[in-house]
Structure 1
């Protein structure tokens, strides 16, 4: 997998992703300490609101900002958003009110909602070979998991020699390093030559996404993975501290088990996807993830908590299956749009997938708080089951359907390319294919 780093431009962009993730990890720790300074025992409510602001920015702003920057040079957009994020990080040590925190977090996440889809849409244009792109997706998944494991440890070491305000400076340096690495990479500009109204640029990605069967299935798979992932992220601390009566180090071990499983799956997925179709891999992983989650919840209801070692094993397998559902997403997005539409489709995936998290986070948290842990597990498993069934119904295969274009003139380039109005080819939703053909 590491051979992909021999590609100079991808290696620089991957390094930019890594240093930005490290900065984001430091920000997460520093933000928690800042919230406690400002709000004391109400820090949890402050953080909860801040994360809600983050999700609202992701869901509501990403299509709009994506449309605003669609015709701008990608490298300028990426560097500009890193500079904005760096500026916000440098402002955070000087805030005096909770309202200022919310405002700065909204600005930072608005920049991230522009940066991330643009960055993700750039990689398939740099790595045109699907095998290389698959390895890049797996490497990106590993980077996210390593950040979750290593950033808290790095923050802890830094806090031995500085106040938490220094972590914000470290965050700024992370975004600065990302900007410098992006500046050194050669990034192709693949904007559309067709002038489109602003409203169409805002909605085009979601229009393509929701009219493509495999992407509708992907959204349902995202919902199932988000349901289980939300339980892990929200309630692992409750299980470790309340159910097992263990300390903070045990929480780190539990999250490390989940992350290790996710990384292991990401490392083996490129080889698996060379032999099996994406749908089969994602469907099998989603079914197994659903069964494991429901079984865990029902066992807790009838027999009590699992033994600690068994729980860690379950969390590792959960992480592996979660990764297997989500990692192939980029391959589906790449396959479902022309190069000029990829930024819009990646933006749609960014917004819609975070909408899933916006729904599942409170369900997981309130379900465990006002019900029970086993009840929340069963609820999340039930959502995963319904989502998996819906995904399999929406995405029933990759058939190439014969179809006809009665509305196009005989001399239209698409008609001439395929030798007549009635023809067969792999379909992508675009100006010539406004809906997915079914019966021809």
Structure 2
């Protein structure tokens, strides 16, 4: 299978192993937390879990841009190892929690680590591969493992709890993060590339989000990712309600619905490496959006449990098409030095979309019939598809002709095509900082929003 070809790369194999172990640890800890909250105070279990999930979103939205802002100045390898070790330490301490607020603090801390670890993993991945096709296959493999973890974690947690108590399960989760840290310790990370960004806390923290939103194809990508959030939130929030309250089934049918969407996503993950050879990423995402819209509308033709399974399966396929190629678009849209800031911006903005989508999905199940709710989401997804296509033009080009006005400024820099000037001898080794002049020039190259390209050429 083509999807497994990247595992021939030793560094990626270790990197992939570390991420997979950490992902499984995260899945187990989420389930264990829910059961632990019920055990601690079954009357307030739902309140504790909902607050913990809200804390997770706050951590993801607020912390990721800060990590991305300074990732180019910090050793990524040791930072990722630190996040793994910190999560392990928190999980070791979690069984000693005796109050609800203890759980809130610990879960918020765990998710701060997750908000730092995940964008760094995503930003480092393209640096391991020189070939874009191999990177595309690695993205598909990561997607498949993510879906497999979603399917496996609940079953594995249930099996483990037959012979382990909560304390042992949390210790096992902690051991998973330590194993991930050990695997990362063996990986040879690509060297950090110096960024030419100016100093200043707010400038660095806001750089990723501002640059992301100034890039038309990334605004289109965000629109497509929002469709994935709307449909994904529908599944996560409403599967149990639809299966048990609408169709009168038991919990096993709820689990089967989650399996259906996971299976659809995994099948499409296998197909994506081939699709990427014959279709543009824009067309792949457009196909994913169309699949999502058609599947939601089709439920009105087959308003039954069978129809629901079919819709969920197709939404899984659509989700893989909408989300998996995102890394390639971000790689195409950013310089190597600024890539962590862009990936962190993607992480933050998409989770803001998921937060909104969760609220919408909850209201749909509360106030609308199942078929009407799906039609509303199909309409919203169609609007986002049109917005995405408007931002991300069909003739989108990476290499653009543009003009630089004459500028004199001061910032860290290397002597690349934008920095050809004389020195007096005191400036020191590169990258160095001194005031320098840029003459007016018109040229063409792969265009990214950065310190020298502050707006998109029209």
What is residue 436 of structure 1 aligned with on the other side?
456
What is residue 227 of structure 2 aligned with on the other side?
224
User: 1:222 deviation in Å?
Assistant: 1.1
In 1, the alpha carbon distance for the partners of 2:14 and 2:444 equals 40
Question: Are 2:150 and 1:148 aligned?
Answer: yes
In 2, the alpha carbon distance for the partners of 1:231 and 1:404 equals 46
Deviations 1:30-75 (A, max 9, x none): 1111111233133122211111110011001111233344411111
In 1, the alpha carbon distance for the partners of 2:167 and 2:375 equals 41
List, as ranges, runs of 4+ consecutive aligned residues in structure 1 with deviation greater than 6 Å.
none
User: 1:102 deviation in Å?
Assistant: 0.8
Deviations 1:177-232 (A, max 9, x none): 11000001001132425352222221111122011111010111111110011001
Closer/same/farther in 2, CA of residues 380 and 38 from structure 1, 3 Å limit: farther
Secondary structure at the counterpart of residue 128 of structure 1: coil
In 2, the alpha carbon distance for the partners of 1:152 and 1:48 equals 18
Deviations 1:227-285 (A, max 9, x none): 01100111011111122222222222111111010011111111111111100110121
User: 1:97 deviation in Å?
Assistant: 1.1
Deviations 1:65-122 (A, max 9, x none): 3334441111110000001111111111111111111111111101111111011111
Question: Are 2:290 and 1:327 aligned?
Answer: no
Secondary structure at the counterpart of residue 425 of structure 1: strand
In 2, the alpha carbon distance for the partners of 1:264 and 1:412 equals 44
Does the 8 Å contact 2:72/2:338 carry over to 1?
Answer: no
Alignment of 1:340-379 (within 5 A): 340-379=337-376
What is residue 404 of structure 2 aligned with on the other side?
405
Closer/same/farther in 2, CA of residues 193 and 287 from structure 1, 3 Å limit: closer
TM-score with structure 1 length normalisation? 0.93
Q: 369-378 or 180-189, which moves further after superposition? A: 369-378
Secondary structure at the counterpart of residue 33 of structure 2: helix
User: 1:401 deviation in Å?
Assistant: 4.1
Query: Equivalent of 2:103, from 101, 104, 109?
Result: 101
In 2, the alpha carbon distance for the partners of 1:310 and 1:224 equals 21
User: 1:403 deviation in Å?
Assistant: 2.2
Query: Equivalent of 2:36, from 11, 34, 37?
Result: 34
The runs of 5 or more residues in structure 2 that have no matched partner are 409-414, 421-438
Aligned residues: 430
Secondary structure at the counterpart of residue 359 of structure 2: helix
TM-score with structure 2 length normalisation? 0.89
What is residue 387 of structure 1 aligned with on the other side?
384
Does the 8 Å contact 1:408/1:415 carry over to 2?
Answer: no
In 2, the alpha carbon distance for the partners of 1:99 and 1:109 equals 15
Greater strand fraction, Structure 1 or Structure 2: 2
What is residue 212 of structure 2 aligned with on the other side?
209
Query: Equivalent of 1:414, from 408, 413, 418?
Result: 418
In 2, the alpha carbon distance for the partners of 1:247 and 1:408 equals 68
Secondary structure at the counterpart of residue 404 of structure 1: strand
Q: 331-340 or 286-295, which moves further after superposition? A: 286-295
Alignment of 1:6-405 (within 5 A): 6-194=8-196, 196-296=199-299, 298-299=300-301, 305-306=303-304, 308-397=305-394, 398-399=396-397, 400-405=399-404
In 2, the alpha carbon distance for the partners of 1:68 and 1:408 equals 26
Does the 8 Å contact 1:74/1:189 carry over to 2?
Answer: no
In 1, the alpha carbon distance for the partners of 2:66 and 2:444 equals 35
